Amino acid sequence: MKKYFSLVLFAHTIFAMPFALIGFFLAITTTEYQFNWVKLLLMILCMVFARNAAMAFNRYLDREIDAENPRTVIRDIPAGKISAKGALTFTVINSLLFIIATLFINPLCFYLSPVALAVVLGYSYTKRFTPLCHLILGLGLALAPIGAYLVVTGEFALLPIFYSLAVLCWVSGFDIIYALQDEEFDRQKGLNSIPAWLGKKRALQVSGFLHLLAVVFIALPLLYTPLSWFYISGVLFFITLLIYQHHLVKPNDLSKVDRAFFTTNGIASVVFTAFFFLDIYLRNQF
């Protein structure tokens, strides 16, 4: 199990899981639906199964590319820690578990489960034909808030879509930063990415624009639901860390990409969500 946690980088659930929790409790606090432990557990399981499937499939599909890239040659399949067949089997099992879990939630989640899988698994193919692959990755994680909202209500609404759009732009932006490390390799191998297409400087500009859009979408709920200064504080903290990660990474200095990618974005996600829950708690208290 430890090997497979390494394969799917389980710690990276810190990016989307907090926003899934936002979507879940947003539904409870803005509709007449009541909190349900079973639905919360099923939502978390769906998040874990879908991400496991997506990450394992990505490692399976990219195994030959990873073996040629000096940066990724140490990944589990090229390093021989897990076989390609094992990774594919893990993908299939988690995909089936995801669909089964949605069956116990509500009909809409079950009917949409193949669509969700198509997005999160299909991302792995996109760098082979479009530099917009970062947006598809962002879309995959952006399903978390709206999907969690659907778990509770079984209905679409505007508010969770704002959070999904924020996640799409945020994730796409920091994935572009991460892809800066492989700019030359991607060009040599005919792979597509924003850095390989536009170069480091323009890629960082695109990333900055996407992060600006993320801020807009994460602030829009203030216009549609009563939120306190705690929520505003969370938005300001989120903005600060977005600015900080762009300060860390320069076109001629990629030495701090890992800090910008994982540490900064992980903290941004968790702290913003903490402010969201603090806002909910205090509103319910007073």
pLDDT per position as a tens digit, 14-67: 788 999 999 999 999 999 999 999 999 999 999 999 999 999 999 999 999 999
Per-residue model confidence (pLDDT) at position 5: 57
Contact criterion met (CB below 8 Å) for 19 and 269: yes
Contact criterion met (CB below 8 Å) for 251 and 210: no
Does the model's pTM come out above 0.85? yes
In order of start, what are the domains of the chain with their CATH numbers? 2-285 (1.10.357.140)
pLDDT per position as a tens digit, 176-192: 999 999 999 999 999 99
Per-residue model confidence (pLDDT) at position 12: 62
Per-residue model confidence (pLDDT) at position 69: 94
Is the model more confident about 284 or about 1? 284
Sign of the C-alpha dihedral computed for residues 25, 27, 30 and 36 taken in this order: negative
Residue 14, by phi and psi: left (phi above 0), alpha (psi -120 to 50) or beta? alpha
Is the model more confident about 280 or about 191? 191
